Structure 1
Amino acid sequence: MKKRSKMKTCLMVLLFSVASLMSFAQTTGNFKGKILDQSTKQPVVGATVQIDQTQLGATTDTTGVFTINNIPTGTYGVTISYLGFQTKNISEVIITSGKTYYSELEILEAVANLNEATVRAFKGENNLLTPVSTFSYSREEIFRNPGAQGDIMRALGSLAGVVSSGAQFSAIAARGQGTQDNVYMVDDIPMFNLSHLEAEGFNSGFNDPNGGRFSIFAPRIIDNVQFQNGGFDAVYGRKSSSYLGLGIKEGNKATWSFAGQFDLLGATLIADGPVSKKTSLFASGRYQNFGLLQRMLDQQNPVSIGFGDYLIKTTTELNAKNKLSVIAMYNPERPRRGIDDIDTDYNINDDNSGGTILFNHEGSKALVGLNLRTLIDSKSYIKNVLYFRSSTVDNNFGHFTPSLDEEGMVLDPRSGRYEDDLRRIKNDQMEIGYRSIYTKRFDKLTITAGLDAAVVNLDYERSLKRIDTVYSFRNTDLRPSPGQYYQILNPSQYNSSFDNSAFNGSGYVAVSWKIANGFTLNPSIRYDYTGFTEQHTVSPRISGSILLGDKQSINFASGIYFQDAAFSDLAGQSAANKLKNERTFQNILGYKYQFSGDLKLVVEGWHKQFDDVVVQPNRVQSYLHNNGTGYAYGADLSLTKRLSQSWYGTASYSYMESQRDDHSGLGAYDYTFNIPHNFSILGSYKPNNKWIFSGKFRYSTGRPADIYTLHSNVLNNPDMLRYSQEITEVNGRRLPDYVSLDMRVDYNVPLKKGMFSAFVDLADINNQFNVNSEVFIPNTGGVYRVGLGVFPTFGVRVEL
């Protein structure tokens, strides 16, 4: 009785405390920030900052700083205006009790003939330097994206011309190219990749095209996103498909806040505030584990999956002209599936069964970077970036040979041979780099010039401990005799070891020239030296915009893009076999109509020609060459209602064709990411400051898959029955279409000093199993399908 009484007393105290925090909550907060000219980074003096639908506002002082005090708690739109500049709208400024919301904001110079009272500029948009294929997300828009769980890579999958690998994968592929072809920049620092759980070595020990499953950034870490789906200028290179620039949130310079999110997958903790008068800090830590979710979904033989993301960033105003940011990131991961994880009484042909594969993966990514921005004079500035980044991968793959019944049900997983170290992939990469980028604005001309220099070290090892048999092959692959319906994977042809360093250097110049009223041309040129391929390349590019009135414009881009050969491909070659960089020639023509300040229509057609594409003549050999060619073309349509007041939404449709030819005798074929039809519609509604409702529907044509002939008892041994698949047409058929309906609900309650939030985020609530790929099973002659059905998560977030 005493224990029950104490428990009741504790519960009453807890409920009373929560109620007190809510009922006696302060009712006002503050908004402070700094307004800069985006093209020169100079402070804007005299700009007006207005809290929408209120009488509250302020004007920036001689340092570009403004302060608005005693704002009632809630979520507001903010309008920033200044003569000669585009009016800028900030969609979601969240005023919290007893806190100061701080943000450094940039505004763009007004565009001639464009009604600046009509257009509200978002990050990177309506910028004549990036006239084509440019999209942006705010921090709140990323978080609201249903089914994405705050993951930026999953949020990008709803953009026009962008497809994810599908289902459980989140990596993006843009306009007929692959997941490895995108430029990734984080605070102006180039990154190897941005994903966890990339299955390097899964496909018979060679690269898997699907990319990773989750981004390395926890929710609310990314402050702004700029994505350009091709046509980017010469400032960026070494990849040829798209440009993704991510800005990590800077620490609040006015007040401290601490936040914790706890959900079905794990926990995230964030600290954000001033360290001194000149320095602010933003730090976060996240750990994710999928054990609870897998038990909730009643998955058989769940894979052990865990990863972490740890980040710290400091920002210091050294003086009026110099701003220094320091960032450090560490992202470890360790998924595994051992023989002890395998249960009896499951069918190895079932979806996501994993077949007979065992694996143990250890990997991590790390980054340390310094970014110094210096104002030289009122019209120019320079950015100097020094960074170190690394990526480590240690993958071990094996398999087991269980006893099965006639339907493929496992009777005993340990009945035959099992080993977890048949193949090993070690891929350690390190890079020390420096970037210097200078920008100067004249009356009708803006010039950007820069250089990049980096030393890359690659320590790569691929090993096979014994001869293995491969039961999936193309009919053009070499075999000792036509009647041998399998291939032998020999260590002498598979194993490779590479440990070397190389220098990469780049120089570039980009010009934005206002030739006439309403006509802007952006020529640029880039030079690259790639040390591992010992290749010099020159990439001329051009883009432009022609205004047709105060609401519409014609935009275009054309250029050559060279892409460095993948490190893992380079490491597997003999010294005599030098791979070349792949070459892409792309053209884009688009039309944009700005219906209102927050509603626009963009239609674009595009074409790409691929040359010197790296191909693998024989799937069981490391030897590669550049004999591949191809092309891709398509059209994208997007209608975007930006986040302002209570509504936000997008609707997009893409048509795409992408063909490759390896010149191997099988002819041209559909590329892995040839998705002819892709449709997405997203909407979010906020009826009041407590509730947010969001939904997203996605449809796309199914991924290409091989046509094959099935052969049985290929070893001519009934006691060791094996099947094989002879691929007769590469990607000659299609997997089922992708269909997904995602829903998200957020509920927010103000506290005395902070906010309490609860959310439910349901991906694929229609529970259609969306297939990403098929994996052949020699033991049964069937396939198991890699994919995902419903993916739920829910949790709470507390900010103090």
Structure 2
Amino acid sequence: MGFYSFLYLFNALISGYVYDYQTKEPLIGCNIYLENTTYGTTTNKEGYYLLQVPEGNYTIIFSYVGYSEEKREISFKKNEILKLNVYLKRSSLTLKEVLVESRKSAITKEVGISKQVITPKEFKTFPQLFSSDFFRSLQVLPGVLMATDFSSALYVRGGGSDQNLILLDGINIYNPHHLGGFLGTLPTEIVKQADFYTGGFPAEYGQKLSSVLDITLKEGNKFKRNTNFEINNLLTKIIFEGPLLKEKSSYIFAFRRSYFDKFLKIFKINFPYYFWETFFKANYEIGQRGKVFYTNFLTYDNFNFPEVNIVFRWGNYLSSLSALYSLSPKLFFKSFLTFSNYYYYINFYKNLVFVDNWIKELSLKSDFYYYFSQNHTLKFGLEGKLKSFYYNTKIIGGIKYDILGSPKDLAFYLSERSDFKKFIVEMGLRQENSFTSYYTERWYHPLDFRLSLKYFLSELANLKLSAGSYSQLLCALLPEFQPIPFLYVWIPTFGPYSPQKAYHYIFGFETFFFENINFSLEPYYKYYPLIYEYNEMCDPFTIEGTILKKGKAKAYGFDILIKKEAGNFLAYLTYSYCWAKNYFDKFSYHPFYDRRHNFNLVLFLPFFFKSNLSLKFAFYTGTPYTEVLSRYRYFFYKYIIDDWRYFWFEELAEKNKARYPHYHRLDLSWEKEVKRFKIRIDIFNLYNQKNFLFYYYDYTYEPPIRKIFYQLPIIPSLSIEYVF
């Protein structure tokens, strides 16, 4: 049967949106199928679905985990186009429902390899540090490597933290962390869903080498107003949501403020740091075919220590106006107009060291989804960006770095998906075009390909293959190891530097066994023919040609996920093996995030007195570091005082050849609801394991004594949440 003859069979079409009955929030990934047939689909991130079927009488079923199943009797006539919006009611989740939904999830035709669909309800059950932290929770996922207790930054399958594309309702966020990564900028309660690609991401995403985190935020309750207030040891959080125009428009607002600066004074500790953040989102429905959204997100961190003349400020300003519209049942359209501004400012000892850096980005992106047939979908779109960079460093004595650039980017992508009886193929191309006039005028035109294949061994098992090339037009000036990574200094590709490049090759196997246990295995290989590293020995007088070192890298390994759900019980086990190495000039080394073995176990289970208990155990191989072999004195004559002086210098071993001891810790969380109150106790590092952060030498002794700077000790926290 030819392709067009095949299309002729599908002579009726049904489309629409699926919503939560209580809030009118779109439901992402809802299963929709015709009873006793093979016809089915799922909703996209906007809750939209489209299904093409032959004429006849059917029972159409809408099914979503945690919601009551909805059935409708429908009669399709030839060439009929039917619009049907459905509202699902929440229900208590039984073991049987979980098993059924697990099977359906296993056989949904999601071709994306290395993709985790993240729901905040699940991650909120994990033990936390002071407050629900969305980014820190991601560190338990397979393929994600943790650097230190002080950082919620993501290191994915041997890639650096600057190689991740993080989108917040379509807005590119350049530094999603507070206090150098100690806490993430996003409260879990405002997240609706996130798609996390640890590799092999499709052509609609670009300009990063390792991973994509695409976060969709809640829209707010369209029927009634809700307020959520939480206070704990060091943070206060409040969330408002409700209708603007009932059933047509809604909003959600969130505010968080730390009080490290106030709380620690009780213990006579002066720590003059605080942060605050605000989030606002509103939406308006355009008939039954579209919506418009406005999103605004502000973060501000301040560390001001006047006693020692240190001023350190950084933050983000994000804003977007977006729209989605169903131009026809077969053509779906999304567009984003976004603005992102990340900045930081440092002043040590009244301009002894002065740093001012910012990156601004104005972006317009449009995506089109065309459904040729039930088994054939085309995605295409374009993305234009106007960027502005400023990096200014002054050190008293004459050293000065000054980089100012305004690159312009325009990207096109095309992706096609074909569904067959036993397998799915998705192919894509992405063309980047970038112009910069800093240093010299230059155009860049990297062309990248994407290919994914999914083969169904059975209804409950499948194989996946993926290959692709990826380009990155930005570079972060990060020292090779920052124990507490405060700075993300972004500069564009310019002058003698070409875009960074990476290739991903991934194989995957996924199945369900014992009815409700999900198992997945993904070996991978990544090759980087071109990466950059900050040159700490760059010449300040020829900074344009020496600030970056060119190199290569490769990483390989495999990830395992075993997940079991049964009623209110959840077990989450992940293991990742990762080998990563960077090659620069005539030497090579393993980066500090090269942890060979990474094991996480999370248990969430009902406890006494209608409460819940959560445990998280982590074990990681120690990070690489460079040993100090010896030290020596360098003497010089100082004419002003007519005397000799000296400096101490350290002789180092080969870079990152040694490793710190293994890392392990156990976290615990207990939670109980009492009417409108929710009481939560979290204990971080329950048995107070002394994990190494780094070694340092005390030179007041002769010979010097090597000492240890440890990571976080046991930290209990109490949170009280009130909902009204």
Shared fold (TM-score greater than 0.5)? yes
**SS of equivalent residue, structure 2 residue 152:** strand
Aligned counterparts of 1:637 and 1:463: Cα–Cα separation in 2: 47
Tell me what 1:407 maps to.
Answer: none
Tell me what 2:404 maps to.
Answer: 499
Aligned counterparts of 1:744 and 1:574: Cα–Cα separation in 2: 43
The 1:691/1:420 distance shift into structure 2, 3 A limit, reads farther
Aligned counterparts of 2:60 and 2:612: Cα–Cα separation in 1: 32
Please say if 1:288 is aligned against 2:211: no
Aligned counterparts of 1:721 and 1:646: Cα–Cα separation in 2: 66
Aligned counterparts of 1:770 and 1:239: Cα–Cα separation in 2: 32
Shift of 1:147: 3.0
Tell me what 1:434 maps to.
Answer: 364
The 1:328/1:519 distance shift into structure 2, 3 A limit, reads same
Deviations 1:220-258 (A, max 9, x none): 121212211101111111111111111111101111111
**SS of equivalent residue, structure 2 residue 123:** helix
**SS of equivalent residue, structure 2 residue 124:** helix
> Alignment partner for residue 758 of structure 1, among 679, 701, 716?
679
For residues 416-431 of structure 1, the aligned pairs below 5 Å read: 419=349, 421-431=351-361
Tell me what 1:111 maps to.
Answer: none
Please say if 1:324 is aligned against 2:324: no
Aligned counterparts of 2:322 and 2:94: Cα–Cα separation in 1: 29
Tell me what 1:6 maps to.
Answer: none
Please say if 1:696 is aligned against 2:666: no
**SS of equivalent residue, structure 2 residue 407:** strand
Residue 562 of structure 2 aligns to which amino acid in structure 1?
Answer: L
> Alignment partner for residue 125 of structure 2, among 138, 144, 166?
144
Matched-pair contact (CA < 8 Å) for 2:516–2:564 = yes
Aligned counterparts of 2:100 and 2:622: Cα–Cα separation in 1: 43
Aligned counterparts of 1:126 and 1:186: Cα–Cα separation in 2: 29
Residue 422 of structure 1 aligns to which amino acid in structure 2?
Answer: L
Matched-pair contact (CA < 8 Å) for 1:169–1:213 = yes
Tell me what 2:335 maps to.
Answer: 384
The 1:794/1:131 distance shift into structure 2, 3 A limit, reads same
Tell me what 2:85 maps to.
Answer: 64
Please say if 1:76 is aligned against 2:92: yes
Tell me what 1:792 maps to.
Answer: 716
Shift of 1:129: 4.8
Please say if 1:586 is aligned against 2:607: no
Matched-pair contact (CA < 8 Å) for 2:50–2:329 = no
The 1:292/1:735 distance shift into structure 2, 3 A limit, reads farther
Shift of 1:453: 0.3
For residues 28-427 of structure 1, the aligned pairs below 5 Å read: 31=22, 33=24, 37-39=42-44, 42=48, 48=61, 58-59=70-71, 63-66=84-87, 68=89, 76-77=92-93, 119-121=103-105, 128-148=109-129, 149-198=131-180, 212-277=181-246, 278-291=248-261, 294=264, 303-337=271-305, 339=307, 359-397=310-348, 419=349, 421-427=351-357
Tell me what 1:607 maps to.
Answer: 525
What TM-score do the two structures reach when normalised by structure 2? 0.82
Tell me what 1:447 maps to.
Answer: 378
The 1:619/1:254 distance shift into structure 2, 3 A limit, reads same
The 1:223/1:637 distance shift into structure 2, 3 A limit, reads same
Tell me what 2:667 maps to.
Answer: 742
Tell me what 2:576 maps to.
Answer: 654
For residues 582-731 of structure 1, the aligned pairs below 5 Å read: 582-595=500-513, 598-616=516-534, 619=537, 621=539, 622=543, 623-625=546-548, 627-642=550-565, 645-663=567-585, 665=586, 667-687=587-607, 690-715=610-635, 722-731=647-656
Aligned length: 644
The 1:613/1:310 distance shift into structure 2, 3 A limit, reads same
The 1:50/1:521 distance shift into structure 2, 3 A limit, reads closer
Shift of 1:165: 1.7
**SS of equivalent residue, structure 1 residue 548:** strand
Shift of 1:776: 6.7
Residue 496 of structure 1 aligns to which amino acid in structure 2?
Answer: Y
The 1:253/1:777 distance shift into structure 2, 3 A limit, reads farther
Matched-pair contact (CA < 8 Å) for 1:460–1:568 = no
The 1:597/1:188 distance shift into structure 2, 3 A limit, reads farther
Please say if 1:566 is aligned against 2:484: no
Shift of 1:677: 0.6
Matched-pair contact (CA < 8 Å) for 2:198–2:211 = yes
Aligned counterparts of 2:494 and 2:304: Cα–Cα separation in 1: 37
Residue 273 of structure 1 aligns to which amino acid in structure 2?
Answer: G
Matched-pair contact (CA < 8 Å) for 2:534–2:547 = yes
Matched-pair contact (CA < 8 Å) for 2:384–2:410 = yes
The 1:619/1:726 distance shift into structure 2, 3 A limit, reads farther
Tell me what 1:539 maps to.
Answer: 448
The 1:78/1:452 distance shift into structure 2, 3 A limit, reads farther
Aligned counterparts of 1:595 and 1:240: Cα–Cα separation in 2: 34
